[in-house]
Copies of this chain bind each other. A is one copy, B any other.
Amino acid sequence: MLTIGDFASLGRVSVRMLRHYDSIGLLPPAAVDPHSGYRYYTAAQLGRLNRVIALKDLGLTLVQVRAILDDAVDLVELRGMLRLRRAQLATQLAADTARLSSVEARLRMIETEGRMTSQDVVLKQVPSIRVAELSAVARSYDAADIGPVLTPLYPELFRRLEAAGITPGGPALAWYDQAADGEGVVVHAGVGIEGDPETVRDIAMVELPAITAATTIHHGPMDTADRSLQVLARWIEEHDWRTDGYARELYVEYWPEEADKGVTELQLPVRRA
């Protein structure tokens, strides 16, 4: 009979954990002195301890380990548990690999520039959103060409919505497409709406697809948005993504008079390189 300390050092486990394994019924000692409460283990229990350690080291939870060791899972369930665990590990490896390259990108940044960006990029899963929209065509994807085309669309859109008795249920946003004839850019001005997509005569209702997007918050007027777009472009390059179309612009805060106070989320759709 071994005391808990001896058993712990033989098994290279902490005494604390042996007590824990006892308390959850995973590895009860072979005997417990009813008077003192002292736990006593046998050398033969090292076998079970080893099995516990081996299974735990796969990343299974102690509850799972207990179920397996107590034959409470059949082969099918066991295979299911292992496959699930394999999938979890694969996911985590991918995530950690991405994290590692992000950390390395930051380190490169502070080595070369002596500081870190104060504007950060976040990868988001942007859900699909239902919007009412008006569109027009601009000569190019350039602030100077787009502003004059896009800006007047909103008053008109809101006017038509009000006339139709529809209340906007989300923020205003803009997105862009290549024109069908390849000449210029289609500029869409939209605003989120809730509920049914009852198309009204002169307002198009569309559902923007969910996208994976690199996003950043742009502060100030939209004619300086290219600075934020460059931040996004650089991030994408450093993290091995590819752009997948034009950026959506989500107007979180908008003052017609004081554009400096404007806050816009730029969402640049991306896909894996």
Contact = CB atoms under 8 A, between A and B. Distances in A.
Given A43-B263, A46-B217, A86-B103, 12 more contacts: A10-B265, A47-B217, A47-B219, A50-B215, A57-B99, A57-B123, A79-B110, A82-B110, A89-B99, A90-B100, A93-B96, A93-B97
A122 interface: yes
Interface stretch (A111-119, A150-158, A198-206): A111-119
Contacts of A96: 59, 89, 92-93, 96
Interface in A67-90: 68, 75, 78-79, 82-83, 85-86, 89-90
A53 interface: yes
Contacts of A252: 10, 43, 46
Contacts of A253: 42-44
Nearest to A125: B12
* Among A78, A92, A215, A217, residue most surrounded by chain B Cβ atoms (within 10 Å): A217
A120 interface: yes
A263 B44 contact: yes
Interface string A35-59: 0000000111011001101110111
Contact of A86 (B51, B58, B104): B104
B122 A50 contact: yes
A214 to B, nearest CB: 11
Contact of A47 (B103, B107, B110, B119): B119
Contacts of A55: 120
7 contacts: A46-B217, A47-B263, A51-B120, A58-B102, A68-B116, A75-B110, A82-B106
A107 B79 contact: yes
Contacts of A125: 12
Nearest to A106: B82
Contact of A124 (B12, B124, B263): B12
